[in-house]
Chains A and B, each alone.
Chain A
Amino acid sequence: MKNTINQAFHSPKFVFGFVIFAIMLCLAILVPAFSKADPLAMQAAACYRPGTYFSIADAIEAKKYNLKMDIKSHRFDKTLTQEDKDSMVEWLVKFGNVEESEIPADAEEFVVFWINNYKDIKIKGLTNAKKQYYRKLTAKLSAMLKTSDIVIAGEDPDTGELIEENKIEFNSFTNVNDVTVRKTFLLGTDNFGRDEFIELCHAVGTSLKMGLLAGTIATIIGLILGLLSGYLGGIVDDIIVFITNLFTVIPSFVLIILISFSVDQSARGVLLVGIIIGATSWTWTTRSVRSQVISLRNRDHVNMSKLSGHSLIRIVFEDILPYIASYVVMAFILQISSAILAEAQLSMLGLGPATTKVATLGLMMNWAMSAQTPLAGQWWAFLPVIVSIALVAFSLNLMNTGLDQVFNPQLRD
C-alpha cells in the first residue's frame, strides 16, 4: 500500500493532477474557512467587473496631494488605444472629407481635431453598433479634455442657492491607502451581485462533496453487484446482467433528468442530487468489475485458495478484491469527475439542486447563462466557473491515468 502511494508520486501525470487538485481543494477549504460571510449574500448590483472598489465620498474627503504631471496626455495615453485611433482615422478619411496628411500626430491635438471634425450624422454603410461606438468614444474624449476644477456644492435650504463646500483641483491626487472604505471583488460579482470568488470557492467545495457522495454510491453499488455477478455466476449473474443492461440501454443522463424532474425543486438538495447521480451511474463499474472477476475466478491462485480450505467470502476479499482494487480506485476517481460534470449539465437544464441554498459549479453556470452574461461580455461570471469545472475534472482524470501506469503489474518491479 505504502509502496503503491510512493510509486504514484513518481508518476509525473499523477503528480501534476494531484497538484492541481490539491490547489482546488485548498481554495475550497481555506477560503470558506477564513471568510465567514454568507457566499450567497448580495453585496452589489449585478455583474460588476473584477477589481477594487472604493468609496468616492471617502476619496473626496481624503488628504489631497499635488503631483507634477501632464494629466491630460497621460489620460490619452492610457485610454486611447491604437485600435481606437485607427478607426477614428478611418472615419475622418472616409466621411469627414479630411486628407490623411492633415491629421495631427500628437495625441492631444489629434483628439481636439477629432472633436472639431466629428459629426454625429446619418451615414450609409455604417452599422448601428459602429455608430454607437463613435458616439461613446467622442463623449469619453471630450470629458477627458476638461481641465477645470470640480466644485462640490450644497444647496442652501432657505434660498436654494448653491454654496461651494469643497473644491477638487484639476491636478489633485489622493493616496489609495487613505481611502478607508473599499472592497475588492477578485472575480467581480455575479448577476445577483454576489462576490464571485467567494461563491466559486464554496461551489467547488460543494461540487466535490457531491461528486464524492455520488462516486461512493456508484462505486459501492457497482462493486457489490459486479462481485456477486462475476463470482457467483448462474442465475444471480443473469439477473444482475439483466438489470445492468436495462440501466445501460436507457442513457443514464436521461434517467437522471427524469428522476430529478419528478422530485420537487425545493426538496432537491445537493445531497439528493448526489444520490440520484450515484444511483444511476453504477452500471459502468458493475460491468467492468464483473468482467474482471470472471477472468480472475478461474485463475490458479483462486484455485489454490480454494484448496487451502478458505471460505467464499475470504476468497472474494483476499484473492479477488486486491487484484481489482486498483481498478476500483480508478473507477471511483472517474465516477467523481463524471458526477461533477453530470451535476453541471443537470443544473444547466435547471434540474440541479434548489437554487436558494448553496452554490454549485453547475448552478453558477446556470445563473451566468440565464443572465446572458456571455452576450454582455461579462467573462468573469462564467469563465472562472468553466475553468474550475475543467480543472477539477482534468486533474481527476490525470490522477486516474497516472495511477493506471502505477497499477499496471508490468511496471511493478
Chain B
Amino acid sequence: MVVTNTTERKPCLSGRGVTKVFGFGNQKTVAVDHVDFDFREGDIISIVGESGSGKTTISKMILGLIGVTEGEIFFQGQPRDIKTHRKKQEYWKGIQAIFQDPFATYNMFKKIDEVLLDCINMRGGKNLPKEEKERLMTEACSFVNLKYAELTNKYPFELSGGQMQRLMIARIFLLKPKILLADEPTSMIDACSRATILDMLLKLRDEINMTIVFITHDIGLAYYVSDTIYIMEHGKFVEVGKADDVILNPQAPYTKRLISDVPKIHEEWDLSTV
C-alpha cells in the first residue's frame, strides 16, 4: 500500500514488510504486522489509531530503539545500518523523538539545564560561551511558552506533565533534526497552547524542511496538521492517503468509524450509542 503521491520529493524514510513480534509461543503479540510506508521529506505524516494498535511500537522501530523482527527500513533511500552503537549515534543526529509519556522521559537525577545543554552540545555548541548557551536555552524555552529563569536548577519531576512536554519540544527546537517522531506530543497541553505549539512545529517544518511523523489517536488533530495520514488498526495500515482524501472520502470501515466517533460540539450527544 505505497502512497502514489506524484510530488517530486523523494522519501527520506521508508519501510517494507516491517513487523514486530513481542514474546514467543502463547505469549506472542504481533504489535506491527508487515507494514509498508514512505515518508517524504518535509511532509507532516500522521499515524492515527486507537490504543494498542502499535503506533508507539512502529515509532520505536523507526528510531532504532527496538529491533525489527522482520522487514527492512530504508533511510535516505539506503537500507538502514545501525548495527553498532557508534552507527546509531550517527543515525540519531538526524532523527529525534518526543515520547508519549513525559513523566518517564526524563532522568530524575538530572537538572533541566543539563537536558537542554546536552542538545546544544550535540549540535556542536560545546565550546560556545556561557552567555550564548543561556541565550539559546532562553530562546528555546520562550518558543514553547516556558520561562527559562524559572526552570534553572529544577528537576524534571518538579514540572507538570504539560511543562515536561513543552520542554521536550524546546529540545527539538534546539536540535533541529531532519526527522521528528512525535508520539502524542501535546496530550497534556491545554487546547489553546496546543494550537500555538502545533503552529510552531509547522513553522519549524517550513524553516528547516523537517519531516514530522505525528502519532495521535485524535483524527481531528491529524486532519488539522498533516499532509498524509496513515490509519492503523491492529498493527496494520488499513488506509493511507492525503489528509483530504482520507477524511473527506474514507474507504476503510475502520476509518469511517473513527471519523464518526469524533464528538461534534454543535450536535447534541447521543448517549444511547455510548
Chain A interfacial positions (CB closer than 8 Å to B): 298-301, 303-312, 318-319, 322-323, 409, 412
Contact of A305 among B101, B107, B108 (CB under 8 A): B107
Contact of A308 among B99, B118, B157 (CB under 8 A): B118
Residues in A whose Cβ lies below 8 Å from that of B104:
299-301
Chain B interface residue count, CB cutoff 8 Å, equals 25
Could you tell me if B106 and A307 are in contact, using CB atoms closer than 8 angstroms? Answer: no
Q: Please judge, given known A-B contacts A306-B92, A318-B107, A322-B109, whether A300 and B99 are in contact too, CB under 8 Å.
A: yes
Nearest-neighbour CB distance to chain B for A313, whole angstroms, equals 10
Can you name the residue of chain B whose Cβ is closest to the Cβ of A325?
Answer: B109
Can you name the residue of chain A whose Cβ is closest to the Cβ of B181?
Answer: A307
Can you name the residue of chain B whose Cβ is closest to the Cβ of A412?
Answer: B157
Nearest-neighbour CB distance to chain B for A212, whole angstroms, equals 27
Could you tell me if B93 and A309 are in contact, using CB atoms closer than 8 angstroms? Answer: yes
0/1 string, B80-113, CB within 8 A of A gives 1 = 0000010011001100110111001111111000
Q: Please judge, given known A-B contacts A308-B119, A308-B122, A309-B122, whether A303 and B107 are in contact too, CB under 8 Å.
A: no
* Docked complex: B102-142 residues within 8 A CB-CB of A: 104-110, 118-119, 122
Residues in B whose Cβ lies below 8 Å from that of A309:
89, 92-93, 118, 122
Can you name the residue of chain B whose Cβ is closest to the Cβ of A304?
Answer: B105
Nearest-neighbour CB distance to chain B for A1, whole angstroms, equals 10
Contact of B105 among A301, A306, A311, A412 (CB under 8 A): A301
Can you name the residue of chain A whose Cβ is closest to the Cβ of B103?
Answer: A300
Taking the complex as formed, is B247 at the interface, i.e. its CB lies under 8 A from any CB of chain A? no
Could you tell me if B107 and A311 are in contact, using CB atoms closer than 8 angstroms? Answer: no
Nearest-neighbour CB distance to chain A for B175, whole angstroms, equals 9
Taking the complex as formed, is B21 at the interface, i.e. its CB lies under 8 A from any CB of chain A? no
A308-B118, A309-B122 given. 7 additional CB < 8 A pairs?
Answer: A298-B66, A300-B99, A301-B106, A304-B106, A306-B92, A309-B92, A309-B118
Which A-B residue pairs are the 7 nearest by beta carbons? Answer: A322-B109, A300-B99, A300-B104, A308-B118, A301-B107, A300-B105, A309-B122
Residues in B whose Cβ lies below 8 Å from that of A308:
92, 118-119, 122
Nearest-neighbour CB distance to chain B for A322, whole angstroms, equals 4
Residues in B whose Cβ lies below 8 Å from that of A300:
99-101, 104-105
Taking the complex as formed, is B65 at the interface, i.e. its CB lies under 8 A from any CB of chain A? yes
26 contacts between A and B (CB under 8 A): A298-B66, A299-B104, A300-B99, A300-B101, A300-B105, A301-B104, A301-B107, A303-B60, A303-B65, A304-B105, A305-B107, A306-B88, A307-B92, A308-B92, A309-B89, A309-B92, A311-B85, A311-B89, A318-B107, A322-B107, A322-B108, A322-B109, A323-B108, A323-B109, A409-B108, A412-B157
Residues in B whose Cβ lies below 8 Å from that of A306:
65, 88, 92
Can you name the residue of chain A whose Cβ is closest to the Cβ of B98?
Answer: A304
Could you tell me if A307 and B85 are in contact, using CB atoms closer than 8 angstroms? Answer: no
Taking the complex as formed, is B151 at the interface, i.e. its CB lies under 8 A from any CB of chain A? no
**How many angstroms between the C-alpha atoms of A18 and B57 in the bound complex?**
48
Residues in A whose Cβ lies below 8 Å from that of B88:
306
Can you name the residue of chain B whose Cβ is closest to the Cβ of A310?
Answer: B118
**How many angstroms between the C-alpha atoms of A13 and B60 in the bound complex?**
44
Residues in B whose Cβ lies below 8 Å from that of A307:
63, 92, 96-97
0/1 string, B51-73, CB within 8 A of A gives 1 = 00000000010010110000000
**How many angstroms between the C-alpha atoms of A305 and B63 in the bound complex?**
13
**How many angstroms between the C-alpha atoms of A299 and B108 in the bound complex?**
12
Residues in A whose Cβ lies below 8 Å from that of B105:
300-301, 304
Can you name the residue of chain A whose Cβ is closest to the Cβ of B96?
Answer: A307
Can you name the residue of chain A whose Cβ is closest to the Cβ of B88?
Answer: A306
Can you name the residue of chain A whose Cβ is closest to the Cβ of B65?
Answer: A303
Nearest-neighbour CB distance to chain A for B122, whole angstroms, equals 5
